[in-house]
Structure 1
Amino acid sequence: MFKKILAVSAMLFAFASFAAVDANKGTEAELDGLKGVGPAMSKRILDARKQGEFKDWPDLMQRVKGVKEKTAEKLSAEGLTVNGQSFGGAAAAAPKESKPSKAAKP
């Protein structure tokens, strides 16, 4: 019986350690628990969140000092999400503007 309780406890701990933390909902302790997020960064995230929830990763990167594309990739790999979304890289950070086609000229 003790072995079963120990096994279930170990599985719950493993599941909890891989759970994603949303930047809009995570507590200071949950944010600190992510590798790459220390007390200073979690405070910056929480302070920026007081102005309003993050819309997406580019919004978080703009409002939280020290979070750029490379850091966002690492944090996303560790389980940080924004509105449930993982970081999508450069394409998500800077949408491309469409150029008018040459055929459209009179």
Structure 2
Amino acid sequence: MKKIMVVLMFLMSMMLAGEVYAGDMVNVNTATAAQLEMVKGVGPKTAAAIVAYRTEHGNFSSVAGLTAVKGVGDKKLQKIADGLTVDQKH
């Protein structure tokens, strides 16, 4: 029983870890703010700003389009772009 609890706790901690790993992409056109926050470098304010911008202006045609979002400049985009996509396959 103790081993099962340890395994369950480990699995739950991995699920709650939150950070997107290499190869995992978050679609900026479909993600919730919580899903966007899983990308390294995207905090609650940025995630909320992305969702708000998308709601008001429609889907992004490219990840580079995120620079139109308040708080996302070229430097920020460089940090977060690897974890984001607009491709429906991801």
**Aligned position for 2:86:** 82
Q: In the TM superposition, what are the counterparts of 1:85-96 in structure 2 within 5 Å?
A: none
So what's the TM-score if we normalise by structure 2?
Answer: 0.65
User: What is the CA distance between 1:82 and its match in structure 2?
Assistant: 3.0
Pick aligned residue for 1:59 from 65, 78, 81? 65
Structure 2 spans left out of the alignment, 5+ residues: none
Larger radius of gyration: 1
Question: Cα–Cα, structure 1 residues 73 and 64, in superposed 2: closer, same or farther, change >3 Å?
Answer: same
Superposition TM-score, scaled by structure 1 size: 0.56
Paired residues in the alignment total: 80
- Return the structure number with greater relative CO, CA threshold 8 A, min gap 6: 2
Cα displacement string for residues 49-96 of structure 1 (whole angstroms, at most 9, x for unaligned residues): 1120011134221x201212221111023x122336xxxxxxxxxxxx
Q: Which runs of 5+ in 1 are unaligned?
A: 85-106
Runs of 4+, deviation exceeding 4 Å:
none
Query: How many angstroms apart in 1 are the aligned matches of 2:58 and 2:76?
Result: 22
